[in-house]
A = this chain, B = another copy of it.
């Protein structure tokens, strides 16, 4: 049973695990450096130094700086999309689905500031918001409109405004401008934008969060 004895595993398996580890190190390093300097000002050399790997090995994993940024955004999208799907599965009220999704994201920003800063600095652009995470969020909002729970006149602009408001509140939270109940306060403002006025939005945004499988 090769699995019990890693030394006996085919070279391909071990090499491929090492490859995965280096890739993960590069991604984590890029997140740290870009959180500090922004994606534009970050160089590949700074990423490989932070990851403590040789400069050349960057190109075994990514074609360019743009490619690693794409991969990072892909990771973010994947994580959020999974969380949103899980929330939508267990929560019935569309307003609560949206509030829980926003709170989940803000809590992750607070728990992993490097990751949050990368996100707030790079702000997923409009094309990205049309796939993955953004598409899921738009789906949840549409379901809420169809159910008569949200009152939205201008869906297109509202989705852009919600995205901008959430990213700005995430950045303000990381800069300690908003330092108390940031996830709930963000969710309340998103619900306001979706046409749920405040006394009710406050109640929805404070319901217990559903338990999610950790990813």
Contact = CB atoms under 8 A, between A and B. Distances in A.
Contacts of A89: none
Contacts of A123: 168
Contacts of A4: none
A95 interface: no
Interface residues of A, number: 41
B195 A195 contact: no
Counted per complex, copies of this chain come to: 2
Nearest to A201: B153
Interface string A146-185: 0000010110111011111111110110010110001001
B165 A202 contact: no
Majority SS of interface residues in chain A? helix
Contact of A198 (B39, B40, B151): B151
Interface stretch (A54-62, A73-81, A186-194): A186-194
Interface of A: 37-42, 123, 125-126, 151, 153-154, 156-158, 160-169, 171-172, 175, 177-178, 182, 185-186, 188-189, 192-193, 195, 197-198, 202
